[in-house]
């Protein structure tokens, strides 16, 4: 699929649940949100139907998100079924890391390619504050476990917030000295009940990079084709690498190759902008195989044409409802 801005779309990011065991301050409002009724959530069979149809349109890369995807019962079975689809080259999961130690071996044997783990602080008290009650040790133990079972290409995502965790940038560098991890510093991008940029918390990538350069020279790493939005660097002496994602100050929309599927069956063109099509309604309309294929193709094509040149910077949905 090629959109109207000549971007090839080959990546589908799927939210498998709106449930999450944490309530991170930039993802969910303090009062919580109304959860979807169970029947509104796509079944695994419905998700697989969408994935297989996406593959017929040359989608070859899948990422499962949430909410927290590991709270969805049977998630490793879904991963295995997706990984077994001819034409799928890469299956990844974005997780808050709390249950990773428990799932590490099952994820490995399911055919999962790699994991992205959210980790915004290395301090216990701050972790409890940012996640509203989580335990830092659970995530750190999970990272060690997935490295132990042989996962490579592990990414650790750090949302940098001024006055909250920006004084830990050097600590994170020390964390990757002896770990083969891609540490990614990400600009704060609040959504839903907040403006995109919280002026008092927002720190641009340019300023984050300056803090990293206090440690050592940033050596650019050759970018992978369609390798993601991060600009990657190495620092001499570190086993791991450092990436920077400037979604707010310098959007990377011109290279975006993804569509999104929400847990309640809406195929979206963008996290923040564009439009969406309700594919759940199509899946549940008792259509013939040929009619279903035609309508799903039309849905994919329509959403692809909705992809904006650049995102608006605003969204009415909260992050856990769409998937990070």
Asked if residue 2 belongs to a domain, the reply is no
- Residue 105 φ/ψ region, left for φ over 0, alpha for ψ in the -120 to 50 degree band, beta for the rest: alpha
User: Measured in whole angstroms, how far is the alpha carbon of residue 298 from the centre of its chain?
Assistant: 26
CA-CA distance, 289 to 154, in Å (whole number)? 39
User: Measured in whole angstroms, how far is the alpha carbon of residue 238 from the centre of its chain?
Assistant: 25
Contact 175, 135 (CB under 8 A): no
**Quick one: tokens of 294?**
């035609």
Asked if residue 29 belongs to a domain, the reply is yes
Contacts of 60 (CB under 8 A, 6+ apart): 10, 87, 88, 89, 90
CATH of the domain at 172: 3.20.20.70
Nearest to 291 by CA among 82, 53, 12: 53
CA-CA distance, 103 to 96, in Å (whole number)? 13
Asked if residue 129 belongs to a domain, the reply is yes
Helix (H, G, I), strand (E, B) or coil at 111: coil
Asked if residue 4 belongs to a domain, the reply is no
Asked if residue 180 belongs to a domain, the reply is yes
Sign of the dihedral through C-alpha 113, 115, 116, 122 = negative
DSSP at 118: E
CA-CA distance, 252 to 110, in Å (whole number)? 32
Percent helix, percent strand, percent coil in the chain, to nearest 5: 35, 20, 50
Instruction: Give the CA distances from residue 276 to residues 270, 305, 308, in Å, rounded to whole numbers and listed in that order.
Output: 9, 10, 12
Contact 63, 14 (CB under 8 A): yes
Helix (H, G, I), strand (E, B) or coil at 143: helix
**Quick one: tokens of 178?**
């002896």
Asked if residue 159 belongs to a domain, the reply is yes
User: ∠286-288-291 over CA atoms, to 5°?
Assistant: 105
Count of domains in the chain? 1
Asked if residue 6 belongs to a domain, the reply is no
pLDDT one digit per residue (tens) for the chain, 324 residues: 998 889 999 999 999 999 999 988 877 777 777 888 999 999 999 999 999 999 999 999 999 999 999 999 999 999 999 999 999 999 999 999 999 999 999 999 999 999 999 999 999 999 999 999 999 999 999 999 999 999 999 999 999 999 999 999 999 999 999 999 999 999 987 555 455 456 688 999 999 999 999 999 999 997 655 457 889 999 999 999 999 998 888 877 888 899 999 999 999 998 877 789 999 999 999 999 999 999 999 999 999 999 988 776 555 555 556 665
pTM of whole model > 0.75? yes
Asked if residue 210 belongs to a domain, the reply is yes
Range of the domain at 310: 11-322
């Amino acid at each position: 699929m090629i959109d109207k801005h000549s971007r090839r779309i080959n990546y589908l990011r799927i939210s498998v649940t709106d449930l999450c065991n944490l309530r991170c301050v930039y993802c969910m409002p303090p009062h919580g949100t109304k959860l979807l009724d169970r029947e509104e959530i796509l079944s695994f069979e419905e998700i697989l139907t969408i994935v297989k149809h996406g593959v017929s349109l040359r989608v070859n890369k899948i990422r499962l998100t949430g909410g927290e995807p590991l709270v969805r019962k049977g998630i490793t079975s879904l991963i295995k079924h997706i990984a077994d689809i001819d034409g799928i080259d890469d299956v990844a999961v974005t997780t808050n890391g709390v249950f990773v130690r428990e799932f590490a071996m099952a994820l490995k044997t399911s055919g999962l390619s790699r994991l992205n783990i959210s980790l915004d602080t290395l301090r216990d008290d701050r972790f409890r504050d940012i996640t509203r009650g989580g335990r830092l040790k659970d995530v750190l133990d999970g990272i060690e476990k997935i490295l132990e079972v042989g996962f490579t290409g592990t990414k650790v995502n750090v949302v940098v917030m001024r006055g909250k965790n920006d004084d830990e940038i050097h600590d994170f560098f020390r964390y990757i000295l002896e770990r083969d991890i891609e540490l990614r510093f990400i600009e704060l991008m609040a959504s839903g009940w907040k403006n995109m940029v919280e002026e008092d918390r927002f720190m641009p990538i340019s300023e984050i990079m300056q803090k990293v350069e206090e440690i050592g020279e940033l050596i650019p790493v050759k970018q992978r084709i369609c390798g993601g939005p991060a600009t990657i660097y190495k620092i001499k002496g570190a086993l791991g690498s450092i990436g920077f994602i400037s979604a707010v100050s310098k959007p990377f929309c011109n290279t975006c190759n993804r569509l999104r599927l929400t847990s309640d069956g809406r195929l979206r063109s963008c996290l923040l902008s564009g439009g969406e099509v309700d594919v759940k309604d199509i899946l549940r309309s008792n259509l013939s195989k040929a009619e279903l294929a035609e309508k799903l193709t039309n849905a994919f094509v329509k959403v692809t044409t909705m992809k904006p040149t650049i995102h608006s910077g605003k969204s009415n949905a909260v992050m856990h409802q769409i998937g990070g």
